[in-house]
A = this chain, B = another copy of it.
Amino acid sequence: MEYEKTPANTINRKANKANYEVATVHSIVNEAPILHVSFVPDPYEPVPVILPMIGLMAKYGSDEDEHCYLHGYTASRFFKQTTKEGESGDPEGLQVCIAATIVDGLVLSLTPNSHSMNFRSSVLHGRATVVTDTAERLWAMEEITNSVVPGRWGQTRVPPNSTEMTSTKILKVKISSASSKIRAAEPSDEKYDVERSDVIDHVWTGVVPIHQSFGEPIPSSYNKVKDVPPNLTEYIAKANEDGSKYAQEVATKSPPK
Contact = CB atoms under 8 A, between A and B. Distances in A.
Given A48-B39, A97-B38, A207-B217, A106 B155 contact: no
Interface string A91-112: 0000111110101001011111
A148 B209 contact: no
Instruction: From A36, A43, A220, A248, name the one whose CB has the most chain B CB atoms within 10 angstroms.
Output: A220
Nearest to A236: B208
Interface in A152-204: 152-153, 155-158, 160, 164, 167-168, 181, 186-187, 189, 193-194, 196, 199-204
A13 B38 CA distance: 18
| Identical copies in the complex | 2
Interface residues of A, number: 106
A17 to B, nearest CB: 9
Nearest to A101: B52
A115 interface: yes
Contacts of A164: 111, 113
Most buried by B among A8, A101, A213, A251: A213
Nearest to A209: B215
A9 to B, nearest CB: 10
B205 A108 contact: no
Given A155-B203, A206-B220, 10 more contacts: A33-B117, A34-B101, A50-B123, A52-B121, A108-B149, A108-B217, A108-B232, A202-B225, A204-B232, A209-B218
Of all A-B residue pairs in the complex, the 9 with the closest CB atoms, nearest first, are: A213-B213, A209-B215, A40-B46, A38-B38, A50-B99, A48-B48, A38-B48, A43-B46, A206-B219
12 contacts: A14-B74, A39-B46, A49-B123, A50-B99, A106-B214, A109-B156, A115-B148, A202-B225, A206-B219, A208-B214, A210-B215, A211-B215
